[in-house]
Amino acid sequence: MNNDNSKKTNLYSIVIPVYNSTQTLVEISERVDMVFKTIIKENYEIIFVDDGSYNGETWKTLTTLVQNNKNASAVQLTRNFGQVPATLCGMKEAAGDFIITMDDDLQHLPEDIPRLIAEKGHDIVIGQFPGSKHGLSRCMTSKIKDVFDRLILGKPKHIKMSAFRLMSRNIVSGMLSITTPFPMIAPMMFYFSKDVVGIDLDHESRKVGKSGYNFFKRLKLFTNLLINNSSLLLRMIGCLGISLSLLSVFWGLFLIYQKIAGVSRLVGWTSIMVTVLFIGGLLLFSVGILGEYLIRIIRGTEKKPTYFIRKKIKIDRSRSME
């Protein structure tokens, strides 16, 4: 009987969502290629997902890049669905034993990929950036979201979320089994596994352009976390309603006591109007929250796809590593 002593190599899939980028794409491809050929020496593929870029040069650049790199492929979405749907698209197209996601702006260094792979015994490895080069506004909103991630998802305090991460095929398969019109990577990851480790990495300044994540897009993601992945708002409204109900009962009993004791006095318009406006505002806010939940439930029943692909430039998965 013949023994096959050849070492089985892993396939690593690098998923990179792209939006209007051109200048950094070739450099990313070359640096990833250099990392895997000189340091890791294992099979890899790069999957670029063009998230409906309005810059026509983006897809042209990706087309040329794929033609020159046998390890690369590209997918073009019909419109801008967002970074999370684009990332999920790339993860579904990926064939790797491990999936690595990273941004297209070179703030995530390809040379740090071996540090993520060194921890591949864990289900999820997250690149953390203590010295983040993001602006003040984004850093502040990230810290607020970090608090809610711990509160809602049970995220360990020492783990700092980022889009530079490595996940095992098993976890990715579980994440892709979830169907929702409002997907978020972090809730999906923490739902399937708590075996998460963070690695401190350097964060480079953005070389070209500016981030597409403006305040309103970050706010939209934050509402997805609160509403689609948590019942926190409903519980808060319920607790507030119960508290106000108990308070009104005690206040009513106090007014009855004043009447019986003969110390009742006319209540001013100011206190009445403040009370009415507060209760009315609370009721309208509660109705708005319930309405938002109902809207998202309806959208969920429609089963619209999270993204839709226009075209693909596929790689040859039968290749062997040179």
Listing DSSP states for 28-91 in one string gives HHHHHHHHIIIII-SEEEEEEEE---S-HHHHHHHHHHHHH-TTEEEEEESS---HHHHHHHHH
User: Within 13 Å of residue 200, how many CA atoms lie on the same side as its CB?
Assistant: 3
* Cβ atoms 82, 184 nearer than 8 A: no
If you search the block for the tokens 């794409």, which residue do you land on? Answer: 25
Q: Name the more confident of 212 and 301.
A: 301
Are 188 and 175 in contact, with CB atoms under 8 Å apart? Answer: yes
The span from the CA of 24 to the CA of 320, in Å, is 27
Tokens of 102: 């990273």
pLDDT value at 215 more than 90: no
Q: Is pLDDT of 296 > 80?
A: no
pLDDT, residue 5, reads: 42
Model pLDDT, residue 39: 86
Give the mean pLDDT of the chain.
Answer: 80
Band (pLDDT 50/70/90 cuts) for residue 6 is: very low
Determine the average pLDDT of the residues in 229-234: 67
**44 pLDDT band (50/70/90 cuts)?**
very high
Q: 196: which 2 tokens? A: 């998460």
Share of the chain above pLDDT 90, in %: 43
Question: In angstroms, rounded to a whole number, what is the distance separating the alpha carbons of residues 257 and 131?
Answer: 61
What value does the mean pLDDT take over residues 255-278? Answer: 64
The residues near 22 (Cβ < 8 Å, ≥ 6 apart) are: 55, 57, 58, 61
- Decide if pLDDT at 161 tops 70: yes
**pTM of the complete model:** 0.74
Q: How confident is the model at residue 165 (pLDDT cuts 50, 70, 90)?
A: very high
Q: Is the pLDDT of residue 319 over 60?
A: no
pLDDT in tens, 175-212: 999 888 788 888 889 889 999 999 999 866 656 656 55
pLDDT (0 to 100) of residue 155? 75
Q: Is a pLDDT exceeding 50 seen at residue 31?
A: yes
1 band by pLDDT with thresholds 50, 70 and 90: very low
Confidence of residue 243 (pLDDT cuts 50, 70, 90): confident
Find the range with the poorest average confidence among 2-16, 75-89, 95-109: 2-16
107-151: per-residue pLDDT in tens? 899 999 999 999 999 999 999 988 665 556 666 666 776 676 677
Question: What is the SS3 assignment for 194?
Answer: coil
Higher pLDDT, 98 or 321: 98
Give the whole-angstrom CA distance, residue 266 versus residue 247: 20
Residue environment code for 116-144, b if the CB has 16+ CB neighbours within 10 A, otherwise e: bbeebebbbbbbbbeeeebeeeeeebbee
